[in-house]
Amino acid sequence: MPCAFIQRSNSSTIIHPVANQTTNNCAGVIKLDHVTKTYEEGGVQRVVLNDVSIEFGCGEFTVLLGKSGSGKSTLLNLIGGIDAPTSGDVWIDGQAITRMSDTERTLFRRRYIGFVFQAFNLIPTLSVRENVMLPLELGGRPSADVRRRAEALLEQVGLAHRMDAFPDRLSGGEQQRVAIARALINDPLVVLADEPTGNLDYDTGKLVLDLLDTLTRQAGKNLVMVTHSEEVVGVADRVFRLRDGKLVEDHLAPHQPAVSV
């Protein structure tokens, strides 16, 4: 799909970006080039991703479907640079993260990638505000800027009144909204969400998905989400299924059942 969301995006409606990372490379912000991932267990090789080559992104909302164990989380982790393929390259915005040193990749990830996990993964000893600030503080930005940005984001996710609370005082939906604010604090080009509503009830999950969709679309970001939610499949720009190590685009996605366990 062309860059509809980038053209439609209106960054003045969202918090001020830390850096302008919008890309014009609409051939594919995310590119997998002959990516294979195998795991060895007890002397047996398991091929989870088998020579996958694909390009996507460009302000798109992409959904990944597939049975449990089909490699969805593995694929997100490769795109996010928290795992490395056995062979092949992963390119983000024209940069081969698979050819970077560990330090370069860590810095790249901090700048370009935001993660939202099923289990929220907030740090229990930090307040809501501090959790959201953390990724930028690690990057050494002046703390007053970071604080302002964190507070603006927390306002956007409807948690301005809980900034000083600790995560264990928040509901699951509230914790996931904090995690969304944290994922967006570095104004990432790519937001990766791994079953972000897996631990939430239906209504809360719907709110969280709406928020994630709205905030990433407004800013023209590339959202890649693993989910079984049929509503999400219906509103996604592109839907892929992982099956037998291959990633196949599902053009009929809105009319197909999303859950395939």
Ligand X SMILES: Nc1ncnc2c1ncn2[C@@H]1O[C@H](COP(=O)(O)OP(=O)(O)OP(=O)(O)O)[C@@H](O)[C@H]1O
Q: Which residues form the interface with ligand X (CB under 6 A)?
A: 39, 41, 48, 66, 68-74
Q: Which does 74 bind (CB under 5 to 8 A by kind): Mg ion, ligand X, none?
A: ligand X
By beta-carbon distance, which residue lies closest to Mg ion? 73
Instruction: Give the count of beta carbons closer than 10 Å to the beta carbon of residue 13.
Output: 10
146 neighbors 131 (Cβ within 8 angstroms) = no
Work out how close the CB of 74 gets to Mg ion at its nearest, in angstroms, rounded to a whole number: 8
What is the size of the binding site for Mg ion (CB under 5 A)? 1
Work out how close the CB of 83 gets to ligand X at its nearest, in angstroms, rounded to a whole number: 8
88 neighbors 94 (Cβ within 8 angstroms) = no
Q: Which does 39 bind (CB under 5 to 8 A by kind): Mg ion, ligand X, none?
A: ligand X
Nearer to ligand X, 66 or 196 (CB): 66
Instruction: Give the count of beta carbons closer than 10 Å to the beta carbon of residue 124.
Output: 8
Work out how close the CB of 176 gets to ligand X at its nearest, in angstroms, rounded to a whole number: 17
Sign of the four-CA dihedral 111, 116, 122, 123: negative
The amino acid occupying position 65 is L
- The stretches of 51-187 forming alpha helices (DSSP H) are 72-79, 102-112, 128-138, 143-156, 172-184
Pattern 26-65, Mg ion, x by CB under 5 A: ----------------------------------------
Work out how close the CB of 72 gets to Mg ion at its nearest, in angstroms, rounded to a whole number: 5
Length, in residues, of the chain: 261
Tell me the two tokens of residue 185. Answer: 């604090």
Select from 23, 62, 70, 73 the one that contacts Mg ion (CB under 5 A): 73
Q: What are the start-end ranges of the E strands in 155-195?
A: 190-194
Residues lying near Mg ion in the complex (CB under 5 A) are found at 73
